[in-house]
Amino acid sequence: MNSAHQNRRQFLSKTGKAGIAIAAMPLMSSFAPSLALDAIAYQQKPLPYSYNALEPYIDAMTMEIHYTKHAATYAKNLADACAAEKVDTSNTSLITLLNSISKYSPKMRNNAGGHYNHELFWQLMKPAPSTAPSGTLGEAINKTFGSFADFQKAFGEAAKTRFGSGWAWLLIKKDGTLAISSTPNQDNPLMDIAEVQGTPLLGLDVWEHAYYLKYQNKRPDYINAWWNLVNWEFVQQRFTEAK
Ligand SMILES: [Fe+2]
């Protein structure tokens, strides 16, 4: 954990919920990375851009339905599951819940994952163009996968071959190494039931609801287009915090 992360933790522990709101506020008006690894809340936050901001790669109607219907439903169902299963959300972070998801119901697993994954997904994108990652993350990607192009190929393959609905991930494992994985449904690498566990740095939603209106059955075209939207500054921030 770096000093910036420690400072943020100290700040949040001193200021409580008000501090979380203040810490997340810059995302509402800019694309500057500012969301700490552990700052995803139980409630849905406003999108950090308008529904049409990711055109032409993701169309406005898909974004609106995705955010206001699909993602909103995960947030609501998560709240219901927390009430039913007596999770004290004021004292249990969403990450802590996901880390022990095997102790909870399938409803909790699906909706805690669904909510976390989407809240992360919105922040991982920004209006085009996107440039290749640089800095320490770019170096780690090159070292691990050979080159950025090789990484894109391997990540794209994980996304294309995920049968049915799910996600592709770039994650950092507990030993500090990078890995690519994919998970079914709304699972993610934070869950104690995940095949490959760690902190997700980058995730791609490959449920049909994420792309069907524009791309129909052509998931590979959606994946190729999505690279134009990745907010690598934010991914770099997550990598720096997680190391
Ligand atoms: Fe989705």
Give me ligand 1 centre to Cα 57, in Å.
15
* Rg, the chain, Cα only: 17
DSSP letters for 68-136: IIIIHHHHHHHHHHHHHTT--TTTS-HHHHHHTGGGS-HHHHHHHHHHHHHHHHHHTB-SSP-----HH
Whole-structure pTM value: 0.86
Confidence of residue 243 (pLDDT cuts 50, 70, 90): confident
pLDDT at 136 over 70: yes
Q: First CA to last CA across the chain, in angstroms? A: 6
Please say if the pLDDT value at position 101 is more than 60. Answer: yes
d(CA 6, CA 11): 8
Q: Compute the C-alpha angle 225/155/96, nearest 5°.
A: 110
pLDDT in tens, 161-193: 999 999 999 999 999 999 999 999 999 999 999
Which region among 27-41, 210-224, 228-242 has the lowest average model confidence (pLDDT)? 27-41
The pLDDT, as a whole number, for residue 229 is 98
Q: What is the pLDDT of residue 39?
A: 77
Query: Ligand 1 is a single-atom ion; what residues have CB below 5 A from it?
Result: 205, 207, 210
Q: How far is the CA of 183 from the centre of ligand 1 (A)?
A: 13
The predicted model gives 7-11 an average pLDDT of: 39
For ligand 1, the distance from its centroid to the CA atom of residue 13, given in whole angstroms, is 31
Tell me the C-alpha distance between 209 and 70, whole Å.
8
Q: Is the pLDDT of residue 11 over 60?
A: no
pLDDT digits (tens, 9 = 90+) for 27-39: 333 454 455 666 7
Residue 135, Cα to own-chain centre: how many angstroms?
21
pLDDT tens readout for residues 49-93: 999 999 999 999 999 999 999 999 999 999 999 999 999 999 999
| Distance (Å) from CA 208 to ligand 1 centroid | 8
Ligand 1 centroid vs 155 CA: distance in angstroms?
Answer: 18
Segment 12-23, tens digit of pLDDT: 333 333 333 333
Q: Rounded distance, CA 137 to CA 143, Å?
A: 10
User: Which pLDDT value is given to residue 36?
Assistant: 64
Q: Are 90 and 42 in contact (CB under 8 A)?
A: no
